[in-house]
Structure 1
Amino acid sequence: MNTRHHPITIIGAGLGGLTLARVLHVNGIEAAVFDLEAGRHARTQGGMLDIHTENGQVALRAAGLYDDFLALVHRGGEATRVLDKHATVHWDEGGEDEAGHGGDERPEVDRGQLRRLLLDSLPEGTIRWNRQATGARPLGDGRHEVTFTDGSRITTDLLIGADGAWSRTRTLVSDAWPAYTGISFVETTLDEADTRHPAEAALVGDGMLFALDDGKGFLAHRKTDGSLHIYTALRAAEDWLDTIDFADADVAKAAVLAEFDGWADSLKALVAHADGALVPRKVNALPVDHRWSRAPGVTLLGDAAHVMSPFAGEGANLAMLDGAQLGQAIAAHPDDTGKALAAYEEELFPRSEGKAAESAGGLELCFGPDPLPQLLGVFSGGPEDTDADRGRDGDRDRDGDRG
């Protein structure tokens, strides 16, 4: 089998990898993207993302897609409700002002729609689907050989690991591996909520709902397709999800709801009335200060570089900014890969560490003792503001930049 050479290779077609490919494209630089999925429609998408002014929106501007992104924004999606375990409402803030304008600092967008925007912005053939990388090895002078499950191989002058939390590319530069944070998620969906689940639709409202206490709770948001996406979360042993038969939805619902004795029936209905399968997720994270020594011809972005808990809403935003800044660094130093990677990583490491610390703090706020007054302090702009109020990025492991 012939070994093909690509000057720039991106492993993973998630938001970060696609943003990098797009920024390179607008700068006249070709890249080859490899992804394990069978095609663009194969990957199951998660819920809503809030795209931040200081990172996600910066990336979209660099990609020349900001105006197209605005057309996808869920108007009113920034609405937020905070409830206690008895479903008493303690905070209820709309997502639009009296003129019908939503906030522009963190507008909400459907993750799947955002990904399609990026996919459609790339030339046909940029992404090689159904190509799962199994490993890579250095060949010297910064070049690498990448192998795939189908037995094929490529060589490349510049290898970028955008392949998510369980990145195989990461092993070229780091021995770090994500560790369980102590929090487990179970995802559920209520379809056509306004007509099929009106009580739950009224409970969640137009945007995001938080109901947290006793180290557990419900995080829910309304999607643009009218469905409700719910994360039931709790502190649990790492093997707790493994003890539940998720092949049987009724059995799984009963096992999850058994952990919520004493909670309001209206909140438990977010699980009890769910449509389709329940999806288990363990929340994992790399060390807050994860970084690596400069290695010729290879670097990482997104979850491959800094997977963190979703409780600051930063994962997708950081992945996109990583991709944009790396693309700009390569364009600024087209004949000096070493200088491009050094410039990129110089900004990447401190930025990632700061946001990872925020995310870890957000996790402790949400699942520590007495979270309600702390959340209310966040929303009222008090001293406890750790950004945990915008933790809407919990689908990263599902949609992470995998390869």
Structure 2
Amino acid sequence: MAASTRKPILISGAGIASLLLAQSLHRASIPFQIFERDASVSFRGQGYRLRLSEEGLDAIESVLGPEQFQNFWDTCGKTGGSGFSAVDAITGEKASARPESPKDGNREDVIDEKPKGRTNNLASRDGKIIGISRGNMRKLFMFGCESYIQWSHHVTGYELTGSGVRAVFADGSKSVEGDMLIGGEGIHSKVAKQVSQGMLKVYDTGARGIHGQSPSTAFKGLGEGVWRIVDNSNPDRRVFLMTNVRPGEMDDPNVQFGWTMGGPPGSIKAPNDDYSIIGKPAAEIAKALTANWHASLKPLFDEMVESEAAFWKITCSTPSGVPEWQNDPRVTVIGDAAHSMTPAGGIGANTAVRDSALLGRLITEAGGYKNGVTAAYEKEMRVYGSEAVKTSYRIAHGNMGISIDENSKTV
């Protein structure tokens, strides 16, 4: 990055949205600093794979440029097939499928809008379904920006100065003065709550899930494709599992594929309602839930890497969309901090990278901080962000029976 007398753009959080924004600033030689609460990029598990839509890929390509995007593209997995295929968890039977063609679809843990024996066409480029692990995406977006990340810095708010803004950390210390602060630290963002004066809320839908990893050899019973395994044998404990089985790796026990289990409210329970547990306790619950599944599916759980298992709460922003708050020219939010979504429709990660590309372009065109940049970003983001939240909620409401409103429990 070229030397500059300008104050840096401060970014809270080092998730995919924040890091892609950093790439945009880095390419434009605009100074920035990232503050991340974790101690390192490998501090905790990176969770599921992300499936990238056409819009998501376009946003990433617009930021990275031809050469860097080619490296990103080469790292992505490409799965054939027309889309989701359903499997009966008890019988192991694969349902015959009729093609559908919705545009949205990105994450491996997408909840299918039409799951009963139908297939959704999820291909986004070259007739392939494009996916990449969250961990690999973070590392690729971090390339060249490593020295601008300050680890173990938990942002809990900010203060405006006469000519800029400072991030405030959990220990009471403050950052250098920056020209802007971008909150990208996820659903628990303190920056989001402060800048929106509490209008940005994330609701607990009551639905729960478990992420898991297993050697790719355990997936031979499924074969290549994007699979939705459904267990409706117990009406009080309905669960489903999503996974993306990529070709060419099913014979290598050193390669792991991920899967995500989910269920409506009350279907998946953790001891003492502790949904932060990871590792063996989470793995044991997944195994108990699938004890009566077909033999062809049992290797997914018998051979799972127990240390990688983790619970997750399914959350969502206000179903009515991204609210409008009084704009602050120096502070705004991106990604899950702006619009948390259920996994239904698989829209969340792609919407996040759209945020990064849009805000990065506006800051670059302005040459850094300029009054009006955050207002222009928020105006455009609210349109596609609100539509994405509404879609993810509508599908999850129909498939999982979740129901939230302004009076629901927040996280």
TM-score (norm 2): 0.76
Conservation of the 8 A alpha-carbon contact between 1:83 and 1:91: no
CA contact (8 A) 1:76 1:102 kept: no
Partner of residue 83, structure 1: 87
Work out the CA distance in 2 between the residues paired with 1:247 and 1:48.
18
Instruction: Indicate which of 193, 202, 210 corresponds to 1:186.
Output: 210
Which of 140, 144, 148 is matched with 2:169 structurally?
Answer: 148
1:68/1:104 CA distance change after superposition, 3 Å: farther
Answer with 170-179 or 341-350: which moved more: 170-179
Counterpart Cα distance in 2 of 1:104 and 1:137: 48
The letter for the 2-side match of 1:117 is L
- Tell me which moved more, 124-133 or 280-289: 124-133
Equivalence for 1:139: 161
CA drift at 1:353? 0.8
**How many angstroms apart in 2 are the aligned matches of 1:309 and 1:316?**
11
Match of 1:30 in 2: 31
Distance 1:160 1:118 in 2: 17
* Pair 1:74 & 2:77 matched: yes
What amino acid is aligned across from residue 83 of structure 1 in structure 2?
A: V
**Could you say which residue in structure 2 is the equivalent of 1:290?**
322
Deviation at 1:322, TM superposition (A): 0.6
Question: 2:255 maps to which residue?
Answer: 226
Deviation, structure 1 residue 238:
9.8
Q: After the TM superposition, which of the residue ranges 333-342 and 10-19 deviates more from structure 2?
A: 333-342
Cα distance change, pair 239–266 in 1 and its aligned pair in 2 (3 A): closer
Superposed, 1:265-304 pairs within 5 Å as 265-267=295-297, 269-277=299-307, 278-288=309-319, 289-291=321-323, 292-304=325-337
Deviations 1:248-273 (A, max 9, x none): 83x65554455557643544553344
Contact 1:80 1:91 in 2 (8 A): no
Q: Is the 8 A contact 2:36 2:151 kept in 1?
A: yes
Which of 178, 189, 192 lines up with 1:167 in the alignment? 189
After TM superposition, give the deviation of residue 311 of structure 1 in Å. 1.7
- The residue identity in structure 1 corresponding to 2:222 is V
Matched residues, number? 351
Q: Is the 8 A contact 1:333 1:339 kept in 2?
A: no
- Secondary structure (helix, strand or coil) at the match of 1:156 reads coil
- Could you tell me which amino acid in structure 1 is paired with residue 87 of structure 2? L
Q: CA deviation at 1:41?
A: 3.1
- SS for the counterpart of 2:372 is helix
Q: CA RMSD in A?
A: 3.2
Match of 1:235 among 254, 257, 264: 264
| SS of aligned partner of 1:310 | coil
Write the distance in 2 (CA, Å) between the matches of 1:366 and 1:103.
30
- Contact kept, 8 Å, 2:224 with 2:245, in 1: the verdict is yes
Residues 234-253 of structure 1 aligned to structure 2 (within 5 Å): 234-237=263-266, 240-243=269-272, 249=280, 252=282
1:205 match = 223
Alpha-carbon separation, structure 2, partners of 1:359 and 1:10 = 27
SS of equivalent to 1:39: coil
Match of 2:135 among 107, 112, 118: 112
| TM-score calculated relative to the size of structure 1 | 0.77
- What's the CA shift string for 1:69-103, capped at 9, x where partnerless? 22112132666431123321015799xxxxxx974
Q: Is the 8 A contact 1:13 1:33 kept in 2?
A: yes
Q: Structure 1 residues 152 and 258 mapped into 2: Cα distance closer, same or farther (>3 Å)?
A: same
Identity %: 25
Matched, 1:326 2:359: yes
2:58 match: secondary structure: helix
Structure 1: runs of 5 or more not aligned: 95-100, 370-396, 398-403
* 1:77 and 1:207 in contact (8 A); partners too: yes
Comparing 172-181 and 278-287, the one that deviates more? 172-181
Superposition deviation, residue 352 in structure 1: 0.5
Alpha-carbon separation, structure 1, partners of 2:76 and 2:279: 36
Cα distance change of structure 1 residues 62 and 139 upon mapping to structure 2, 3 Å threshold: same
SS in 2 for 1:231: strand
Q: String of CA shifts for 1:8-47, please: whole Å, max 9, x gaps.
A: 1000111100111111111221111111122233342223
User: What secondary structure is seen at the aligned counterpart in 2 of 1:137?
Assistant: strand
Give the match's secondary structure for 1:61.
Answer: helix
Q: Return 5+ residue gaps in structure 2 as ranges.
A: 1-5, 100-123, 233-237, 403-410
